[in-house]
Structure 1
Amino acid sequence: MPIYFSYGRLMNPTIMTSRCPSAKALGPASMDGYRFIVTSEGVPSMVKAPGKRVHGVLWDCRIGEVAVVDGAEALFRKGVDKVFLPVRSGRQNKSAIIYVSRTARIGKPHAKAWEGVLAAAEHWDFPETYRDELRQWDLR
């Protein structure tokens, strides 16, 4: 089953379950060497940044649900790349599907794309410093 790393609204269990009811949460994970941003299109993404870390959630998805995630991540609009990168889960690295915007221009979160992000960070008990970083985006 494909493993998907969500660091936006699909890390929220309620939202993910509504889209992919068979997906199983494997728990919190992180990407070292990247930082979280919101692009000029209003969607979460990440950019390379030594010493930084993006927190998210690993999901074990059925093959058929990957197409649903592709749609939710706007892969078909051509502004997003779908890549496989190592993600840290506990003491292990796991290869995961990750969606990254092609633009690194900073913007303000779009309401739909931002829905549930802060609640998910609380739910998964991300580090408080990271939650503060996310809250700063919420205030823009």
Structure 2
Amino acid sequence: MPIYFAYGRLMNPKTMASRCPHAKALGPASMDGYRFIVTSEGVPSMVKAPGKRVHGVLWDCRIGEVAIVDGAEALFRKGLDKVFLPVRSDGQNKSAIMYMSRTVRTGKPHVKAWEGVLEAAEHWDFPETYREELRQWDLR
């Protein structure tokens, strides 16, 4: 089954369950060498940044659910790429599907794209420094 790396609203178990009820959480994961941003379109993304890390959640999705995730991301798609990159989980590298913006311009989070992000970071017990980084985006 495909593995999806969520680092925005689909990290939230309630949001993911409403979209992909058969997806199974594999737990927290991270991307080294990237930092979290909110693009000028208001959607979460990440950009290369040596020494930084983006935290997220790995989901084991059914094949048919990948199309649902594609659709959820397409709601805000304005220059997003679907990519397969290695993420770190439980001390291992795993290849995962994720979505990244082509723009690096930053802006304020769009209400729908931001919904549940902070709650998910708390739920998955991300490091406090990372949660604070996310809260700073929330204040924009």
1 CA distance for matches of 2:58 and 2:127? 17
Aligned CA distance change for structure 1 residues 41 and 110 (closer, same or farther; 3 Å): same
TM-score calculated relative to the size of structure 1? 0.98
Corresponding residue for residue 10 of structure 1: 10
User: 3-state DSSP class of the match of 2:104?
Assistant: coil
Cα distance, 1:77 vs structure 2: 4.0
2 CA distance for matches of 1:37 and 1:77? 15
User: 3-state DSSP class of the match of 2:17?
Assistant: helix
1 CA distance for matches of 2:11 and 2:41? 19
Corresponding residue for residue 24 of structure 1: 24
**Contiguous gaps of at least 5 residues in structure 2:** none
Corresponding residue for residue 73 of structure 2: 73
Cα distance, 1:79 vs structure 2: 1.2
Cα distance, 1:90 vs structure 2: 1.3
One-letter identity of the residue aligned with 2:24 = K
2 CA distance for matches of 1:33 and 1:14? 29
Corresponding residue for residue 57 of structure 2: 57
Cα distance, 1:112 vs structure 2: 0.4
TM-score calculated relative to the size of structure 2? 0.98
Corresponding residue for residue 123 of structure 2: 123
Corresponding residue for residue 90 of structure 1: 90
One-letter identity of the residue aligned with 1:7 = Y
2 CA distance for matches of 1:78 and 1:132? 27
1:30-62 deviation line (CA, Å, top 9, x unaligned) = 000000000000000000000000000000000
User: 3-state DSSP class of the match of 1:73?
Assistant: helix
Cα distance, 1:76 vs structure 2: 8.8
CA contact (8 A) 2:34 2:50 kept: yes
Corresponding residue for residue 136 of structure 1: 136
One-letter identity of the residue aligned with 1:41 = E
What's the Cα RMSD here?
Answer: 1.2
**Contiguous gaps of at least 5 residues in structure 1:** none
Aligned pairs, number: 140
